[in-house]
Structure 1
């Protein structure tokens, strides 16, 4: 596990230096309620090691993170009576990441909550889409 960052608020929560409303903990993951929830029951799931973004999390943590997201997601939906659940994860400030410690948002949703996620757009033409797909595919390592 990557050591904690002494300036990271999530690392301080993991170390027990700052309290949280914990809902789940394993050897490698922690889940707690967000202090500024989109909807009540909005939970954060994060690896205990300090990894700034999704791209920094080692592959071997993937199955434990997925299992934790599933367990906590089911519990959040049941506890809140939610009709659905959004899984969100932001990387870097431009994408809305406020804490530089990779974390996942589990946001319970209700059919009438009025939350709009983002406007969707299209491509100017099919060639633009296929060209970008080829570029991205060539960069996947």
Structure 2
């Protein structure tokens, strides 16, 4: 997988769409999100076109993980937030809007109003231990 002609992020990689680039190497690119949730919101993408984490080569994934840590440190140093969200949606059911793997790095501050939170009562609904063990065994064998 290298490129998708109509993909917005592939167009950014090719230089067809302007971007405020943070860094770039042979494998990936980081840039500012033009629709930021919070100031300092940025994105990390692989330069080759992968739809999501389910499509990516493990070596590329390892490189992206290292660069995601680098980018998170940069945001922390420059923005100095109370916390930072790093996330990637994989597939439409998870809310992925652009079908090119990308990681969001979003600085957060107490009381900033951004609603990326678990439901208030999620800790009141403990899962069935038998079912957890069953799923863990299935996932371990997969």
Which TM-score bucket, shorter chain as reference? 0.7 to 0.9
Partner of 2:47: 48
Tell me the secondary structure at the aligned position of residue 87 of structure 1: strand
What TM-score, normalized to structure 1?
0.88
Question: Gapped runs of 5+ residues in structure 2?
Answer: none
Query: Structure 1: how far apart are the matches of 2:115 and 2:138?
Result: 33
Aligned residues: 139
Structure 1 vs Structure 2 CA RMSD:
1.9
Gap change, CA 1:139 and 1:71, over 3 Å in 2: closer
Residue by residue over 1:58-107, the C-alpha shift from the partner in whole angstroms, topping out at 9 and shown as x without a partner, is 10112211111111111112211212110011011121111000110000
* 1:34-73 to 2 correspondences below 5 Å: 34-73=33-72
Q: Distance in 2 between matches of 1:131 and 1:109?
A: 34
Change in Cα spacing, 1:99 to 1:133, as seen in structure 2 (3 Å) is farther
What secondary structure, in the 3-state scheme, does the structure 2 residue paired with 1:35 have?
coil
> 77-86 or 130-139: which moved more?
130-139
| Gapped regions of structure 1 (runs ≥ 5) | none
* Structure 2 match to 1:101: 100
2:73 counterpart residue number? 74
TM-score, reference length from structure 2: 0.87
User: In the superposition, relative to structure 1, how do residues 108 and 5 fare at CA in structure 2: closer, same or farther (>3 Å)?
Assistant: same
- Alpha carbons of structure 1 residues 43 and 133: separation in structure 2 relative to 1, 3 Å: farther
- After TM superposition, the runs of 4+ consecutive aligned structure 1 residues lying more than 3 A away are 122-126
- Partner of 1:135 in structure 2? 135
Which range moves more in the overlay, 41-50 or 117-126?
117-126
